[in-house]
Every structure is written in C-alpha cells, then in structure tokens.
Structure 1
C-alpha cells in the first residue's frame, strides 16, 4: 500500500500523507473497526429485551437480571488499561479477532441459562471476559496508527459503529425472540452477528504495528513490547494526562447520565411517557450527526477549543429544560443538543489522546482513560436518580451538572498546544 515511515505517526509505519491517500489505503481498517465497535455494543442494546422473558421463565426481579450487566461493565472498566497494554504489545489485529469471536460466543452461551440466579451470573462472567477484550482502545488504536491528516473523521466513522448497533440490534433481537424464543434468540443473535462482522475484521483489520510486525518478523524493530521503564515515559503520570482524564470523566458523567435517564427525566419535566419516548429517539440521530461533524472539524480546527465548545453544549440543553417544563418543542431542542455532545465525547477523547501523547502508548493511555470514563458513566445515573429519589425532582441534579460541564471545558482549554512528538519525546 505504499507505506513509509514518518515521524508524524510516532514510530509507526503510516499510509501516504494526504487525506485521500489515507482513505484509499485505510478504508478497510475503518470498516472493520466500525464493525468491531458495533460488536462491542451487542449486549448493550439487546439484553434489555430479554428481561421480561427471563422474568416469566424464572421469576427473577429486574435488579437480579441486570446484575449480570453490572458484572461485565465493572470488569471492562477495571481491566481497560490492561487491554490497552496488550494492544500496544500485540497489535490490534490479533486481539480484535479474538474479541469478536469471544463476544459472539459469550452472547450465544447466555441461552444456556438455568433456573438458578448464580448460573445466570456465572455466564455473565464469561461475557465479562469478552468485554475486557473488546474495549474501544482495540479499534481506535488501529485507526489512529494509519490515519494522520484525516484521523478525526476516521475515528468518528469508526465510533459510529455503536450508533449503527443501536439502530439494528433492538429490532433484530425482538424478531428473534418472537420467532425462536429467548434461548435460541441468544444463539441466533451471536451467530448472525459473527457471520457479518467476523469476515470484516478477519480480512480488513490491521494497523501500522501489525503490518510492521508481519513485514519485519523476527527483527528487534518489530517487537511489540516496551521496555520496563516506558510506562512512566508514556505520559500517564503527567499533569497534561490528568487534565485530559478529568475532562473526559466530567463530561461522561453528564452526557451519558442524561442519555441513560432521558425518558424519566423528560417525563418528570412535564411530558407524557409517550412524548418522552418519542423525543428520546432524537438522541441517536443527533449523536451520529454530531460525531461525524466533530470528526471533520477535528481535522481542521484545534481540538481543545472544539472540545471546550462541545462539552459546554449540555449547559444550553439543561437550561432549556429547566426553564421550559412541559414544552415538547423545548424538550426536542434540548435532546438534539445532548445528542451532539454525546456523539462527540468519545471521539474527542480518542483524538486528543493521539495528538498529545505518543502513538506507541495509545492503547494503554486511551484504555486507561476509557476505564475511568466507563466508571463515571456507570455511576453517574445512580447518583442522578438517587437525587430524584431524595428530592422528587431532577432539577437540582440538572443545576449540579452545569458546573461539571464547565470544569470539563476548563480542563480542555488549559491543555496547551499539541506537542511535536517524536519516538523519543514525551508529553509534559
């Protein structure tokens, strides 16, 4: 593919250095990575449809059923840094193929659930292993290693996989349950998803590290590991990384919480449940649009300023909701604004991590950040809804979210200009 080594990719072999040439050589990698991201969302958008069938079959409470998801989410968040280390050492290709196989098999195995709740939770431990393997750092590392000039948009297209999954998986899962019952639906879902995604990942997923390893097998330069002292040199202990991580955690705690709690939030704000559900559907479309638009802008504008604007957008949406209770139009505008910010959040974090730190450490750095963001995203809805239980209103929690957005924007602004990195340099 006419690859040559450039400093721009920080020690990785890169595709030719024009946007068009990058896409000509790397479109397959983006396609495979997009399919991988969609696979990582397989259970996020399907498991809720199995709640009622499992209740009818075994009499479990919803909390007991959802406890399986909590096991997997916690494992993914805690192990994300280690997944990133494996990406840096092994390259995304081998880990990505194993991740897709593991995820589809684990999904199919959920159909083996027995009448004891421990059996259900044990199967989710298997799912947790797949979740650990299929972290976003696997797919974003492949894309960032071969895209430089069009990296922002390439990452945006890659991460649209989750939005595509949110459109396809729920109706597919519903149809499978209705046609085959919940047990066979699990197996069919895993099988169908593997049939479409595994070939894409097998034939197209690669990275500069993988290509260098294959072309120079056995030479010291192709070794995927790092020297023991490199962890400190990666930049993870710098003030800049702490600022970036705090910015990501802060905005994730707001936008993910708003997305997860959108229907009850709008219902408590004066809309009927039907209106709230219909308005909430705007979130997915807005997030796709926001993700692609921000991706293109990241390739043209300074990312920290763009990030500061994006994380400030929820403030406008929150103020609209607070001051216009019961208004369907106001709620629709607010949801569209939330979607723009939600769609941009992970793209911005991946892009800025690749710009401020060395790409040879991207998997570890973004994996660690992804784990922190995952913990914030998991606990944000708990705090948000606990506030409602105590105060019988979401308004105080909405007011509290505004300064959190401002903290995130401030952290982005004080990151400073992009450093000029070479393989021997670190971020400060």
Structure 2
C-alpha cells in the first residue's frame, strides 16, 4: 500500500497543525473574489465616473454582474474542489483572479468591456470563494470547528478594515489605475506563497508510517452523496432559510451611507458610524464560531440573527441618534460576519465532507442570488418612496423568518463513511 512521505504522525481532528491551515485560509479569504471587489468598488467608482462619465448605477451594476456569474460558476467550482482538491484550485484561482482584477486598469470608457472584465474576474476567481477554504478547515477540526471557521473567515473583515485606506492612499498619490494594479498584485505576491506553504488538506497531507493515505481519505470524506443530499428535506429548509438571511444581511450594507444620509447625518458622522461595521464583522465571526462549537447551530443562529434584525429596525427610529445608529451598524456587521461561518458549519454537520464542495457551491449560488437582489430592491424602494423604512423593516422580518426556518433542521445526524 502507498505510504506517506511525511515522517510525522497522521493528523487527527483538532490537530495543532490545523491552525496553520486556518491562517492560510484567512489570507486566502482576505485576498479573494468576495471581499476585494466589494470593498474597492466604492473607492474606484468616483474616479471611473469622473474619467468616463459613467453613472453610479452603471458602476454598481458590476456587483450584480459578478453575483450572476457566481450563481452559475460556484457549483462548478465546488465540483472541481471535490474532484481535484481545494489546494490546487486555490493555487490556480488566486493568481488568475489577481490578473483579472488588474485588467480593470485597462478600462477605456467602454461599459461593455468593463462588464466583460467583471465576468472574467468572477469566472477565474470563483475558486477563491469560501467553499475552497472552509472545506479544508472543516476537515482539520471537529471540537473547534466553529472557532476555526470564524478565524478563517475573519479575512473579509481584515480586508474591509485595511483595503479602503490603502486604496484611497494609492489613488491620491498615484492614480486609480496604479491602485488597481497594486491591489490586484496582493493575491499573487501574498496569497499564493502563503497558500502554497501552509494550506494542506488533511487527507492529502495526512498519513503515518503504518497507515496508508487511502485510510485517511476515508475518515474525512464521510457524509451524504449529492443524490442523497438532493432528496434530504434539510437541504431545502436551509435553501429557503438562506434566501431570507442572505437577502436581509446583504441589502443594507451598500446602502448604509445613503440610509444615514437620509436621516440627516453629516458625511464625517457617516464615516465614523460606518467604520464600526468591519470590526463588528470580525466579532461576529469569532463569537459566532465559539458559540457554534458549544451549542446547537440553529439555536445560535436564532440568537445571533436577532441582532441584525433589531439593527434594521433601529435604523427606522424616528429619533435616530449617532449612538443608536452606531449600535445598529454594529448589529448588522455582527450578523453579516456570522453568515458564512453558519453556512459552512451546517453543511459539514448535516451533509458531511463527501461532496462538501459541490453542496457549498450550490448554497453559494443561493446566497449570490439573494445577495445580488437585496441591494437592488432596497435601492428601488428608496427611488420610489424616498425612504428606507419599509425596506429595513421587511429585512428585519426576513431575518426572523430565516432563523426560525433553521430550527426545523433537527439534531445533527450521524454521517456514514464511504
């Protein structure tokens, strides 16, 4: 039988070596398709609008274009992860994503070219989304799975905290085209080396002198087949729940500045209030992950999602003070930080590792659809009414409905191995 080339004993769930994998996953998440375009478009939009005369609506439509492509591409990426492994997919997708992001510096005033660049970026960068990183993290951890997922997912919060001031500095000193090139280099010069050195799938890096790799793979790939998952009622309960949850958590985020503007806050006040969002995302990931390790996940979801539900309602208060607005933004960020940790945790506990990538990819398509729809619906309501109250209160209701639906998932099943 084939033996491992490693001299160290085979890792088991919660092996300390898994924390190096978490660090690599955090870096991969931070420098991937999910956070970088989302957090930089707001900085680049005024520059592109000034140079090419594009409207802000046309510029923000790039996010919708990306979401549409991800809906189709993420299930295919999940299948590739299951077939070839998460590490090879990451090492191919990270540099291609970086290069495609840098191509935005070649924009020449054609919206058609601009949207095509976003399509290519989404296709090539889909391997940097959460399915790639969470699949491996969930292999390495059982008792500490929630905390490990929370730490890995902190990458998006770190990006949100760092990338805007970096981008602003580069634009001010060297222009927006240079800023795009520098930011696009980060997945290549930082992400690829870290992932190459530290990111290891347990089955591929695990074996002992007395145990073949094939045995290690059997251990980590327990769970349902795709056909069994499709017939499982819990799949459809989760899909319905995350439609509501993703819609309500994503919709307010790009509209926050305008929501606060309609409530007569000044631009400096808006900047101070919204700065709390990125840090609260990190808090949501860490606290949520810690709780997932100790309590039944649907119950924790009900508790944590109550915070953004209250936050949406607070933003509709007649007397909205800076303190209340800040608490509302913190509540929204706290819930947004918990969303993807919850998804990864539920999939691993209820459906297992056997076809984790494909299952996660399908759920990411659900989130991409709802997340792409939410900001547009909120913007449409504002255009028609001139106020966000109805939209925010509807979002609050959606969060409650989604959280309650998850309670129907039942107890964690005992998953069989191959």
Q: Mark the runs of 5 or more structure 2 residues left unpaired by the alignment.
A: 1-5
User: C-alpha separation between the residues in 2 aligned to 1:182 and 1:392?
Assistant: 32
| Offset at residue 242 of structure 1 (A) | 0.9
| 2:158–2:278 contact (8 Å) kept in structure 1 | no
Question: Which of 220, 229, 232 is matched with 2:227 structurally?
Answer: 232
| Offset at residue 202 of structure 1 (A) | 0.9
1:135 paired to 2:135: no
TM-score (norm 2): 0.89
* Structure 2 match to 1:25: 17
Question: Which of 34, 38, 45 is matched with 1:44 structurally?
Answer: 38
Q: How many correspondences in the alignment?
A: 405
User: C-alpha separation between the residues in 1 aligned to 2:197 and 2:191?
Assistant: 10
Question: Which of 56, 65, 71 is matched with 1:71 structurally?
Answer: 65
- Greater mean deviation of Cα atoms: 145-154 or 77-86: 77-86
* Structure 2 match to 1:319: 313
Question: What are the within-5 Å matches in structure 2 for residues 17-416 of structure 1?
Answer: 17=13, 19=14, 22=15, 24-40=16-32, 41-211=35-205, 230-233=225-228, 235-416=229-410
- Greater mean deviation of Cα atoms: 84-93 or 334-343: 334-343
| Offset at residue 122 of structure 1 (A) | 2.9
User: C-alpha separation between the residues in 1 aligned to 2:29 and 2:315?
Assistant: 32
| Offset at residue 37 of structure 1 (A) | 0.7
1:214/1:376 CA distance change after superposition, 3 Å:
farther
* Structure 2 match to 1:9: none
1:68/1:403 CA distance change after superposition, 3 Å:
closer
| Offset at residue 329 of structure 1 (A) | 1.9
1:405/1:90 CA distance change after superposition, 3 Å:
same
1:268/1:67 CA distance change after superposition, 3 Å:
closer
Q: Mark the runs of 5 or more structure 1 residues left unpaired by the alignment.
A: 5-14
User: C-alpha separation between the residues in 1 aligned to 2:388 and 2:12?
Assistant: 51
| Offset at residue 344 of structure 1 (A) | 1.0
| 2:98–2:187 contact (8 Å) kept in structure 1 | yes
* SS across alignment from 2:230: coil
* Structure 2 match to 1:16: 12
CA deviation vs aligned residue, 1:359-391 (integer Å, no higher than 9, x gap): 111111111111101111111111122122222
- Greater mean deviation of Cα atoms: 365-374 or 184-193: 184-193
* SS across alignment from 1:80: helix
* SS across alignment from 1:419: coil
TM-score (norm 1): 0.87
- Greater mean deviation of Cα atoms: 310-319 or 353-362: 310-319
C-alpha RMSD of matched pairs (Å): 2.6
| Offset at residue 29 of structure 1 (A) | 0.9
| 2:247–2:371 contact (8 Å) kept in structure 1 | yes
User: C-alpha separation between the residues in 2 aligned to 1:341 and 1:115?
Assistant: 38
User: C-alpha separation between the residues in 1 aligned to 2:334 and 2:216?
Assistant: 42
1:358/1:163 CA distance change after superposition, 3 Å:
same
* SS across alignment from 1:378: helix
| Offset at residue 212 of structure 1 (A) | 6.0
* Structure 2 match to 1:12: none
| Offset at residue 254 of structure 1 (A) | 0.9
* Structure 1 match to 2:413: 419
| Offset at residue 193 of structure 1 (A) | 4.1
* Structure 2 match to 1:10: none
CA deviation vs aligned residue, 1:259-308 (integer Å, no higher than 9, x gap): 22212222323433432332121111112112101111111111111011
- Greater mean deviation of Cα atoms: 413-422 or 274-283: 274-283
| 1:271–1:327 contact (8 Å) kept in structure 2 | no
* Structure 2 match to 1:7: none
* Structure 1 match to 2:3: none
